[in-house]
Amino acid sequence: MRKVFVREMLSGRNLDACYDLRRDEVEKAIEYINRQVGTAIDIGELTFLTEMNVIMSMLWGGTLEADQQNKVGAEFRKVFAKMLRLLSKPNISDFFPILARFDIQGIEKQGKALLQIVEEIFDAVINERVKIVEDEIKNAGKKKDSIHILLELEKQEVDGVKINMRQLKAIMMDIVIEGPTPQPLWLS
pLDDT of residue 109: 95
> Smallest Cα–Cα separation from 49: which of 85, 19, 76?
76
Return d(Cα 169, Cα 186) in angstroms, integer.
32
Contact 76/121 with Cβ under 8 angstroms? Answer: yes
Contact 154/168 with Cβ under 8 angstroms? Answer: yes
pLDDT of residue 64: 61
Contact 52/73 with Cβ under 8 angstroms? Answer: yes
pLDDT of residue 31: 92
Contact 164/142 with Cβ under 8 angstroms? Answer: no
Dump pLDDT digits (tens) for 52-72. 778 777 776 655 666 676 677
pLDDT of residue 34: 92
pLDDT of residue 53: 76
Return d(Cα 151, Cα 9) in angstroms, integer.
12
Contact 114/86 with Cβ under 8 angstroms? Answer: yes
Domain spans of the chain, in order of start: 2-187
> Smallest Cα–Cα separation from 53: which of 80, 73, 81?
73
Q: How far is CA 81 from CA 17, 62, 170, in A?
A: 29, 25, 18
**Which regions in the chain score pLDDT beneath 50?**
133, 183-188
CATH number at 2-187: 1.10.630.10
DSSP character at residue 98:
G
Q: What is the pTM of this model?
A: 0.68
